[in-house]
Structure 1
């Protein structure tokens, strides 16, 4: 009896051990499956990063989206939210095509002539050079009678007068009484932008335009001046630009006050390297911030240098501004938005860009979720194209009629797709960016003045980025601040159609 009891106890113990081992084995299997999924996701992420790196290095830089709506609906019909959405898409496409055909039928098509000469602008000054026959040829070969002018053939060619470096001598006459030899008077000196410099305002404007508009580094300008016979060291040119930027400070502050009265401001930022900055390495990243706002014809574009990208920078730049702010997805604006009660709008161009990256890493010749999202976003931009010339109230009404249903479809599709895609994949990142930015991205539906994207700020900051590729860095913080002031002056002039 005791043996039977002991045997049963041993069997029970063995069963418990087997069960524990099975549970441990199942747990290990689950762990391995989890690890394999993680490895697969990491492999897919690295593959997508590799594909994107190849695209950035060797692929076209355009973000144009060219997939046909028909291909999307035929090849990937299951990506539609439901059949009603697909039908609505088809109907919207047909209406858009019909509208496009009607518009094309009535609007004149401007075609640029291929080949041939471009007409010379009539506003350019003309210098006439008259070409005469010599004396011997002005007589008739038959009877020797003197020939008379009966007309003329005129042709034009474009001519450029090369830059000429010259010295302006300011002669100030002195006057005195010839009798008492007292009461000496001298003609007043002309006003100068840099009082203790021998650079004229025209020369300073020439150097500033060449560097900050045409992206010509100062060392190259020094070489150009040397070819014209004027030896101007690069450090002299740099000192002139810093001093000129400092003299522009009152004008920049006036422009800032005007900007902060605008109902809507665009903001963006980009990196800048400053070599000699106190308590910072030369390789440390600094930032150039740009703001743009104001009504048409009174646009202000302001650049501001800051050693960081912290949220304190937009708080300083915006002060007590409480209007509408359009930015990308950077969270550094959150504090000033909260403190001032700013209406914060997002940028659909950034959301679209992430889906374009997801589209680039999908298999060649295939369409997928990224294509559906891009197609939907392109429809939003199509509505904006129709509303471009409308007043804000009419634009908002058109958006309510056409854009809001598109946004609703996109939201339904997004909710469905978030659970179907790996978060760390290119498509997953695009979906989660769209989801996290959704309140800001849909804010344009509430106000007809809010644009669909932040392209105005990106276009304003592009000349700085192009210039940075040529002159590479600023030597000191004062040089960076001077660059910001001069860029502000030039880009504000450009924004208002001024030279």
Structure 2
């Protein structure tokens, strides 16, 4: 399965766009680390729309050097949140670093929540203005996706309808930046958006790039749910094995496989795979065979 993961990573690197994120994991028996410290599960969501790929990779570090190793040789657009560890992407040859509007929206949502808790009757003013405008942008994107716009049609819509809204939002941020205390929640939301701006409007000219990193965040969710039950990995080797298995299973699900059916078929055939070509034919990005369904479990299991 390690070699399968490497082949999937090679496939993801060949595509022109991917998203990246990371989440924490507690790992026992890591050299030089206390058992209570956090390590990280890095996640890539990429590949073409008809054969999407999700890759999990364990590392004790959150350093951007981990992302750099995973993306070695990639040419295209990488979309991430505002974590500074990804800043190297803006300097990487052949790589465009796109931003995430979800985190901008969350910053202003935090302002609204905080003011609500202070008993101001939900009158959040500027935060509501920002959320309304961002919501209108998302609605335009949603409608275009639902109507099945081609790449060319999507770019035309973005240019005619989204670009003016984004320009108005930028002017609004610039106007408020010097008038709102920078350490207030609203000030932090404004300065976060402005600090990310060179990455936030890049999607306008790239049809394959969405406004947000929701795809990779959704890909992480099954792992986060599982983590609530099993809490930690017993060793670095176990954490990496977990990452490989999650990669295979979640990619299989995205490509239309029923997980049990896929794993059953995989483990029956993998022992006889002798070459990379043999292994490639077993990857979850290959189409499910007709009438593939899970076998009935043995009653004693």
Q: TM-score range, shorter-chain basis?
A: 0.7 to 0.9
Residue 449 of structure 1, aligned match among 190, 208, 217: 208
2-structure distance, mates of 1:452, 1:365: 27
1-structure distance, mates of 2:107, 2:35: 32
2-structure distance, mates of 1:468, 1:345: 29
Shift of 1:427: 1.0
Aligned to 1:409: 168
Shift of 1:336: 4.0
Tell me if structure 1 keeps the 8 A contact 2:80–2:213. Answer: yes
Structure with more relative contact order (C-alpha pairs < 8 Å, separation 6 or more): 2
* Runs of 5+ consecutive residues of structure 2 not aligned to the other structure: 259-301
Residue 13 of structure 2, aligned match among 257, 260, 281: 260
The 5 A counterparts of 1:94-493 are 248-362=1-115, 363-388=120-145, 389-493=148-252
Tell me if structure 2 keeps the 8 A contact 1:259–1:293. Answer: yes
Aligned to 1:206: none
The structure whose residues are more often strand, as a share, is 2
Shift of 1:296: 2.2
Q: Secondary structure at the match of 1:374?
A: helix
**What are the Cα deviations for residues 377-429 of structure 1, in whole angstroms up to 9, with x where unaligned?**
00100110122121212101100000011011101110111112111111111
Q: Secondary structure at the match of 1:272?
A: strand
- Runs (4+) of structure 1 exceeding 6 A deviation are none
TM-score, normalised relative to structure 2: 0.82
**What are the Cα deviations for residues 274-295 of structure 1, in whole angstroms up to 9, with x where unaligned?**
1110111111211000001112
* Runs of 5+ consecutive residues of structure 1 not aligned to the other structure: 1-247
Tell me if structure 2 keeps the 8 A contact 1:321–1:340. Answer: no
Q: 1:339 to 1:365 in 2, by over 3 A?
A: closer
TM-score, normalised relative to structure 1: 0.50
1-structure distance, mates of 2:113, 2:88: 35
Q: Secondary structure at the match of 1:260?
A: helix
1-structure distance, mates of 2:176, 2:9: 44
Shift of 1:253: 1.0
Tell me if structure 1 keeps the 8 A contact 2:89–2:96. Answer: no
2-structure distance, mates of 1:379, 1:339: 33
The count of aligned residue pairs is: 252
CA RMSD, Structure 1 to Structure 2 (Å): 1.0
2-structure distance, mates of 1:365, 1:278: 50
2-structure distance, mates of 1:484, 1:493: 14
1-structure distance, mates of 2:136, 2:89: 32
**What are the Cα deviations for residues 294-351 of structure 1, in whole angstroms up to 9, with x where unaligned?**
1222111000001111011011101111210010001212224413331111110111
2-structure distance, mates of 1:365, 1:309: 37
